[in-house]
Amino acid sequence: MENINLIAFAAPAFFIFLYLEYQYAKYKKQQHLFKYESSVSNTTIGIAERLLNLFVTASFYGLFVWIYENYRIFTISNHWYIWVLLLLAADFVWYWYHRLGHEINIFWAAHIVHHQSEEFNFSAAARITTIQAIIRTGFWCVLPFIGFEPMMVMGILVAHGMYSFFTHTQVIKAPKWLENVFITPSLHGVHHASDEKYLDKNYGDVFVFWDKLFGTFQKEEEKPKYGLTHPIGSYSFLWQHFHYYLEIYEAAKRQKGLKNKLKIVFGSPALMDQDIRSELEKKFFQKNVNREKLNPSFKKYINVQVFVVSLVLMLFSAFFSRFDGVEKLTIAVLIVITLVNVGALLEQRKWIYYLEYSRAILLIAFIFFEFGYTDLIFIPVILLVLIEQKLNLKNWYLYSFLHYQNNNEDAARPH
């Protein structure tokens, strides 16, 4: 057990709590709080973050150690009361990281992913990107710089993150008196709302002190409408991650002079031209996509992919140190391709078949490489190409798995 990375068990724990939340919602007749496409999209983004963090989390700790050993201002003990002080300090740093993440475009580009979901449940808590984690770590560096021991910092950040997970729900109602001290699901739901009165409120993660002190506190009054003020209307894994960076680039490109371009990058999201997104959507989005209700067999196909990639991530995380560089890179690429694949399936992208085909070739090549048959990789690849050409797998795939083909069965049906 000492060689197993215990972080691997975070994935199954997430699914257990998500299942329990859904069952409790069913018991309370609140199934409407969950939407299949949104939950799947939230989950895939969370999987990507967990995957990429495997490669960078160790460097986060190393950075904390380097700062602590070379630049700390004080040497702070690890007495029990220091843990309380550290939790307060961590939440204070979080408040400002979080607030600036809403007020500065380049930070908002990373954080916006967390706010895209129009459902507010445990699955929405998974919508964190590695870019956001890197930016956040830059702020956390203040803690070892002050003099808190790096291991204490890492421990308190785990507890901090666990608490915030449980504030992403509508089925758990905390007592109102708790709102005098702690961020509750109701208060954090306000933060995720797109209603004008709720915008830019409740940045705290554990405590409400900072919001009250800096004038950003707001209780829930009317039921919030969750999501962005200008919804992206897409479940594409790639679009959800990168659309706002494209918007910043397009907005900056339209400006003259370096000073004006920098104002776009470091300015407020509220000042962005809202027409840019719709223009980019026309450029990059597939036209005439049928988004009618997904049939059960299609959902099963997506569910299998999410289950398999989650299982692979858990095992990959558990034994991460045992893989060499080539194995790590290949497994990571296969997982990312599958996540993009799931998003493309939800979006009914016409190019999805080629992504599936590429994944199959990469997987076969990886298996042959692992068993020492590198020189023979070309054989199954050629066979796969010949089978595809002979049996016309593309048409079969489009007919079987892409929903939009239902409206044009004759064209898609394999012959």
- Coil vs helix vs strand at 64: helix
Rg for the chain, CA atoms, rounded:
23
Residue-wise pLDDT tens digits, 227-246 = 999 888 889 999 999 999 99
Q: Is the pLDDT of residue 398 over 80?
A: no
Residue-wise pLDDT tens digits, 78-103 = 888 999 999 999 999 999 999 999 99
**Which pLDDT value is given to residue 67?**
96
Contacts of 43 (CB under 8 A, 6+ apart): 123, 126, 306, 310
182 DSSP β-pair partners: 207
Q: Where are the domains of the chain?
A: 7-213, 237-284, 297-412
- Coil vs helix vs strand at 77: coil
For the ranges 135-139, 272-276, 317-321, the maximum mean pLDDT occurs at: 135-139
Mean pLDDT of 191-218: 95
226 DSSP β-pair partners: 193
**233 C-beta neighbours (distance < 10 Å), count:** 14
Token output for 379:
């054989």
User: Rounded CA gap, 233 and 204, in Å?
Assistant: 28
pLDDT band at 391 (very low <50, low <70, confident <90, very high): confident
DSSP assignments along 293-331, one per residue:
PPPHHHHHHHHHHHHHHHHHHHHHHHTGGGS-HHHHHHH
Higher pLDDT, 372 or 15: 15
182, 208 contact by CB (below 8 A) = yes
pLDDT band at 333 (very low <50, low <70, confident <90, very high): very high
Mean pLDDT of the chain: 87
pLDDT band at 402 (very low <50, low <70, confident <90, very high): low
Phi/psi zone of residue 129: left (φ > 0), alpha (ψ -120 to 50 degrees), beta?
beta
Residue 403's nearest CA partner among 344, 358, 354 is 344
Residue-wise pLDDT tens digits, 156-184 = 998 998 999 999 999 988 888 999 999 99
